[in-house]
Chains A and B, each alone.
Chain A
C-alpha cells in the first residue's frame, strides 16, 4: 500500500495517455459487460424455467379447443393445466407493438412463482377487461391503475367486426426475467366471448404442470402421442427447452457474444501492453535507480504490474458500470415488441470482468517485466 503513491505518480507522468488508456479499457469492458451480460440474461431465463412445466399447442399452427385442457389434466402425472392465448397488436400506431397474454382462471396455480398476488390475479377475474401491467410496460406506455387502453390487433378479430380490444389497468405488477421488456396479462374469458364465433372455445396454448419433474420430458412425449391422431394434434415442449435461445433459433448466440467480448479484450490487451512497454522504455533509467537503491527484481516488477493493473481494474469497473446503466435505459429506447434481450449484470459478469482485467494486466506487464529483470543497471543508468 505504501507504494501506491509511486504507482500513481508513474501513471500520472502522462495524464493524457493515462486517461485515454482508461477510456479505451472502459469501453472494451462496456462491450464485455453488454455481451456477457446478455449471456447472463439467457442463462437466467434458462435457470428460471421450471423443470416441472410443459407448453402444449397445436402441432400444425392455429388454435386448439380449450376442452383439451380437461383431457390433458386427466393424464397420469399431470397436476394442473391452464391455458393462455394472445392478443398481439399495437397501441395507437403500428410501431408501438404490444402483446397481451390472456390467462384463464387456472393460471395462478400453474405459474405460482409469478410475482403476482392472489388478489391481483382475482382482479382480472372480477373485471372482464381488466389487465395486469408490469412496471416496465406501465412506464413505457404511461399507464396507471384505472387507465383504459385500446389495443388494435389485426390478427384477432372481434365478433362486432372490429379489431380494437379495450383493456382496463387493474394493477401494476413487478417484472420478471423471462419478460425482458415487461408483460401484460388479461382475462381469457374476455377474449373468448368477444372474438369471432368460429374462434370461440379455442385457445393458443396450454401450460401443463407436472407433479414429478423427472417425468416432464416423458409426459411431453406422451401428450404428443396421445393427440397425434385426433383432429387437433398437439406439439409439446418442456419449458427448459422452450426458454433456450440457441435451441429456438439454431444459432449459438452465446458463443457469438463471447467472441465479441474476446475481440474487445484482444484490442485492449494490445493497447495496454503497448502503452506499458512505452512507459517502461521511457523510464528505464528510473527503474535502474529503483534497483540501485535496493528494490528487488520482484519489487520493481510488482510496481510495473500495479501500473498495468490499476487502469485495467478501474476501467473494467467503470465499463461494467456503464454497461449496467446502458442496460437500464435500453428498454426505454428500444422499439417495443422486438423481444430484444436486455443484459443483466449478475455477480458472474463482475467476476469474469475482474478475471479478464487481471489477465490483461498480467499479460501486458509480462514483456516489460522480463526486460526489467534482465536489465543491466549500469548501462541503464548511463542512459545508453
Chain B
C-alpha cells in the first residue's frame, strides 16, 4: 500500500512541471494569504512582545481597585507608606523596601515628521532603579532626585524630535533638560523618566498613579496581596507585573490581531476555492494517467492520497514563500504605534501557524478532487480523447 502511494505520488510530482502555471495558482494563492496574514500579525506580535517584556514576575503592581489601565489608577500620597511596609516586599541592602511610587502623565511632543504626538512621562522614586534594574543609562547620566531633569528612552529618541542630551522638554514650571538616555529593552523605551516627587509638585498632582514593588521571592505575591486586600485603609488591586503587562499587551493588540486573522481567513477561503479548482483541473488533465494506473491494478486509495499530497505540497510551498516574504521584509523592522516602539516579529511559531493553515486549506481543497480521482471510471477515462 505505502509502496503504491509512493509510486503514484512520485509519478504525480514528476508531471507537475507540465502543469506549472496551473499549479502556481495554489502556490500564489497561499503565498499571498500567508504573506499578508503574517505581515499583519508581525505588527501585533511585535507590539505584544514589547508589552510582555515590560512585565517581570518578580514585581507586583498596585493599582486602584478595578482599573484596567495604569493612567486611570490613583494611589493617594498617604497610602504609599502603608503599601511600602507590607510583608512580601524585597529589601535593599540597607533594609529599605524596594517599592517605587510611580507617577504617570502624558506629555505632548513633536514626532519626527513634525506632527503632534504624545508620550508617557513616568516618575521614578528613590527606589525606582532597585525595582526596575533593567533601566540602563547608555549616554549621559541618571537624573538627580529633587532636580528638574529628565532622561529619555532610546525609542523616544527615534520617534520624537528634540530628544538629545541637552534638549529641553516644556513642563508647567519651565523647561527640563534631558540629561541622559536609557535603554530597557521594552516599551518603557518610548517614554521619559524623571523624579516622582519633583514631578508631583511641578504638575500639582494630589496622588501617585501606581506603586510597583519588587517581591521578596516570586512566591511572596500572595503574602503581599493578602496584606493589601485585607487592609481596610486601602482599596487596591495587586497584580503580578508580568500578568499585568500580559493583559495590557493582549488588550492593546486585540484589534490588530483580530484584523490579521479576519484578513487571513477571508483570503484563505478564497485560496481554498482556487485550490479546489486547480486540483479538479489537475485530475482532469491526468485522467488518462490515473486510469492507466488503476487498470494496472493500483488501488483507488493511493490515487486519492497522491492528489491530496500534491495539494499539500503546493500549499505548503506557497505558505513558505509567503512567510519568507513576510520574514525578509518585516521581521525585526522597527515600527511604532502611539508611543510604543517595537520590532515587527515573524517568529518560527507564526511561520508554523502559516504552514498549518496551508495544510488545512490543502486538505479541505484536495478532499473533493481526490474523491473524484479515486472514483474515476477507468474505461471512460481511457477512451476519452
Q: Using a CB–CB distance below 8 Å, which chain A residues touch chain B? A: 16-17, 20-21, 23-24, 27-28, 30-31, 34-35, 59-62, 88, 94, 152, 154-155, 163, 198, 228-229, 231-233, 235, 237, 241, 247-251, 256, 259-260, 263-264, 266-268, 270-271, 274-275, 277-278, 335, 338-340
Contacts and interface: CB of A to CB of B under 8 A. Distances in A.
Interface residues of B, number: 58
Interface in B106-122: 106-108, 111, 115-117, 121
B106 A60 contact: yes
8 contacts: A24-B273, A27-B267, A34-B266, A61-B104, A235-B108, A264-B36, A267-B28, A277-B21
Contacts of B171: 60
A276 to B, nearest CB: 12
A263 B254 contact: no
Interface in B35-93: 35-36, 40, 64-68, 71-73
Contacts of A263: 32, 35-36, 267
Contact of A60 (B117, B172, B254, B262): B172
A27 B66 contact: no
B36 to A, nearest CB: 5
Given A154-B64, A277-B21, A62 B336 contact: no
A24 B68 contact: no
B106 A267 contact: no
B215 to A, nearest CB: 24
B263 interface: yes
A88 B337 CA distance: 23
B68 A94 contact: yes
B267 A264 contact: yes
A28 B21 CA distance: 20
B205 interface: yes
Contact of A267 (B32, B67, B206, B255): B32
A44 to B, nearest CB: 19
A-side interface mostly: helix
Contact of B66 (A28, A30, A154, A228): A154
Contact of A17 (B66, B117, B271, B280): B280
Contacts of B35: 263
Contacts of B22: 274, 278
B273 A231 contact: no
Nearest to A244: B115
Contacts of A237: 116
Given A27-B266, A263-B36, A250 B65 contact: no
B115 A60 contact: no
A251 B344 CA distance: 13
B111 A250 contact: yes
Contact of B270 (A28, A62, A241): A28
A17 B277 contact: yes
Given A17-B280, A250-B111, A278-B281, A267 B271 contact: yes
A247 B114 CA distance: 10
Q: What are the 8 closest A-B residue pairs judged by CB atoms, nearest first?
A: A154-B66, A27-B270, A155-B72, A61-B105, A24-B273, A20-B277, A267-B32, A23-B273
B204 interface: yes
Contacts of A264: 32, 36, 266-267, 270
A270 B267 contact: no
Interface string B261-287: 011001101110110111011000000
Contacts of A259: 36
Nearest to B113: A250
A340 B274 contact: no
Contacts of A248: 338
B281 A271 contact: no
Contacts of A266: 28, 32
A250 B117 contact: yes
B115 A247 contact: yes
B29 interface: yes
A235 B205 CA distance: 17
Contacts of B204: 231-232
A268 B35 CA distance: 15
A255 to B, nearest CB: 12
Contacts of B280: 16-17, 20
